[in-house]
Amino acid sequence: MLGLFVLASTLASIAGGLPCRGARAETPPSGWDIARDPAERARWALHVRVQRLMHASTGDTSLPLDEELRLEAARAMLEEADAAHSPDVRLQFDMGVVYSRLASRQQRLDYERRVVEVLVPALAAAPDDPGATGALEALVYAYAKLDRPREELDTWRRYIPRLNDDRVRAMAMMNMGEAEMRLGAVNDALSTFREVLRMCGELPNSPGVMSTYVLTLWDLGVALDRSGDPRGALDAAAKASHIAIGGKTGAFLIAEDPDVFFVPEWERDWYLALGAAAEGRDADDPRAAALLWGAAERYWTRYVELSTAAQSKAAREEGEPWLVIARVRRDHARAQRLNAEARAAKLPRRAAPRTPWTGPWLGPWTQ
């Protein structure tokens, strides 16, 4: 999936599902239920045990402290019970969510594929179950990691209306906009990103809201660049780079934050190129400008090379809609670098820059 995705920390845990008529509540089976199906008691007990493992409190000393160990224990129990084919949809949802969390922790695409295999039929069978919200969240991130943007976008459109918390809704809409951009619908993506920025401006300030705002500002910059507005793109990137969030900058989020990922990975290069180009445009010293425009040139060059290779290998029907623009940006960055180098060559040999420059695009800039 193109773009930038923040790994969700069980967004549904603060979102909640839309109540619906006939949905099964989180209550134990009645005596009548057990009389009709004696195995219902064991299925309920397994569901309760798995939920406890997934949502263990810090004060529960009877469970392993390490989350991954708890998830592995839950996976083993669910697989032993063949939960993926259980008549109790709660166990199917549990199985899909456990696979999703393990996939994120262990970077396993085979688990992401299992998420899809388990949850697609489960959601088709029980689309209005209260557990469907968490299942849709796991499914949409699986599609993102598997680079299946069409299914991902469809799933965002099912998931987002179920969200009651605007903080969660804003992050989900940001990611939906990235799916729109991946599919070439850049105008739709621009509208989505602008709506997210508006929402963030109306929400109480918090680190989570600020992160969503900054990441969406980055997305807006890339979307503007791909829509033919390079000046607006650099303005957005410059603004996003310098916003501080808990001692970190927006530039750090793109360049180094481990909770931000890109699929395919080289999509990060476009964001990094914009950041370097924005700094190069605004640099006072031509030597700094030359280094920064050179970094932007390298990022766009790598984007072009890797994207071209992937397009040739995969032979996708959609192709790569942004390669032409990326080549233009690469050539522009090269011209700017050469211009800055020519200006730098005219400086006195020992002249120092007016202000030492540091940043994530190159590391500390030195004389």
**Higher-confidence position of 112 and 351:** 112
pLDDT interval class at 60 (50, 70, 90): low
Can you give the pLDDT at residue 55?
85
Instruction: Point out which residues pair with 244 in neighbouring strands.
Output: 249
Q: What digits encode the pLDDT tens for the residues 329-364?
A: 999 999 999 999 999 998 887 655 555 555 688 765
Cβ(353)–Cβ(367) under 8 Å?
A: yes
Give the tokens for residue 200.
Answer: 């963030």
Q: Tell me which amino acid residue 203 is.
A: L
CB 251 within 8 A of CB 359: yes
Rounded to 5°, the CA angle 330-335-339 comes to 145
Res. 15: pLDDT tops 60? no
Say what percent of the chain tops pLDDT 70.
83
Categorize the per-residue pLDDT at 321 as very low, low, confident or very high, splitting at 50, 70 and 90.
Answer: confident
Residue 61 is predicted with a pLDDT of: 59
- Comparing CA positions, the residue from 187, 250, 185, 252 lying closest to residue 217 is 250
Residue 23 pLDDT grade (very low, low, confident, very high; cuts 50, 70, 90):
very low
In 224-305 the beta strands, taken as DSSP E runs, fall at: 244-245, 248-249, 260-262
Q: Residue 33, exposed/middle/buried by CB under 10 A (0-12, 13-18, 19+)?
A: middle
pLDDT tens-digit profile of 153-179? 999 999 999 999 999 999 999 999 999
Among candidate residues 283, 281, 285, the one with its CA nearest the CA of residue 352: 285
248 has which bridge partners? 245
Neighbours of 48 (CB within 10 A): 13
Chain-wide mean pLDDT for the chain? 86
Query: What is the per-residue DSSP string for 6-68?
Result: EPPS-THHHH-PPP-TTPPPS-PPPHHHHHH-TTHHHHHHHHHHHHHHHT--TT-TTS-SSHH
